[in-house]
Amino acid sequence: MQDKASALAVPSSDPEAEERRRREAEEQRLAELRAHGTPVTPEAFAEWKARFEAEMVRFESASPSGSAGMLHRPAWFCASSIPAIP
């Protein structure tokens, strides 16, 4: 048991193994961050909401119908830019 513990404490001279351990540690750190998420404060949410609403106003004003140029099926059939089939 002592040999296993001392083997883990000694740094490896293998650069590939060291890189693999470093990547695994970084992946573990990122997984822990994702598990906890980003804390949302009322101030941060208000800032985000203001930016989002401004973006939506720009998005809706850019398209004449308010759908940003995306046509759903009934609008596609009724669009005047689509040539009629004889």
Please calculate the CA angle 14-17-18 and round it to the nearest 5 degrees: 85
Give pLDDT tens digits for 38-85: 778 999 999 999 999 999 988 887 765 555 555 556 665 565 555 556
CA-based nearest residue to 56, from 66, 44, 46: 66
Q: Is the pLDDT of residue 25 over 60?
A: yes
| Distance separating alpha carbons of residues 44 and 30, to the nearest angstrom | 22
Please calculate the CA angle 81-85-86 and round it to the nearest 5 degrees: 130
Helix (H, G, I), strand (E, B) or coil at 36: helix
